[in-house]
Amino acid sequence: MLGNQYGKTHGMYKSITYSSWRSMIHRCTNVKGRQYPDYGGRGITVHEDWRKFENFLADMGERPSRDYSLDRIDNDGNYEPSNCRWATRSEQQKNKRPARLREKCKRGHVFAETGVYVNKNGGRQCKVCAKARARARA
């Protein structure tokens, strides 16, 4: 029984599900990776349980086919069970937000480095400029 279980799990390491999982980890953790700035560098993290492939597989199920990829429903959200689904490219396009969120303020401060305030309208403001304005008013 145990041997069977192991064999099944072990076989998954060559699967397309596993390659999606490995890419996800890579995008969020490998600082030298080409995609890192858009993922880990932007504060996107992988759910703690999902750092183990078996847990990821248990939550997400197998990737239906190569036409599907791992999609984050909220593009600013993390890789976690409530924010992920297998989706085709056209499904992902439909889900795209109309405008890409700004990642820098007008003066060029990068939000990922300075921190960001989000107001109730969804506007984003860097903390460095916000503090400077507060000081100027005082």
Nearer to Zn ion, 70 or 105 (CB): 105
Q: Locate 25 and state its tokens.
A: 């980890």
C-alpha 99/C-alpha 48 separation (Å) is: 30
- Backbone Cα Rg of the chain: 19
Cβ–Cβ under 8 Å, residues 79 and 28: yes
Q: Which of 81, 109, 112, 124 binds Zn ion (CB under 5 A)?
A: 109
Q: Which is nearer to Zn ion, 12 or 128 (CB)?
A: 128
Closest contact distance (angstroms) between CB of 99 and Zn ion is 20
52: left (phi over 0), alpha (psi -120 to 50) or beta: beta
- When the beta carbons of 107 and 137 are compared against Zn ion, the nearer one is 107
Q: Which stretch binds Zn ion (CB under 5 A): 30-38, 58-66, 68-76, 124-132?
A: 124-132
For Zn ion, the binding residues in 79-108 under the rule CB under 5 A are 105, 107
DSSP state, residue 13: G
Please report whether residue 116 would count as binding Zn ion according to CB under 5 A.
no
Minimum distance of Zn ion from residue 105's CB (angstroms) = 3
CA dihedral for 36, 75, 117, 49, sign (positive or negative): negative
**What minimum distance in Å lies between the beta carbon of 80 and Zn ion?**
29
What is the C-alpha to C-alpha distance for residues 123 and 35, in angstroms, rounded to an integer?
A: 25
Residue with Cβ nearer Zn ion (42 or 85): 42
Which positions lie near Zn ion, rule CB under 5 A?
A: 105, 107, 109, 126, 128-129
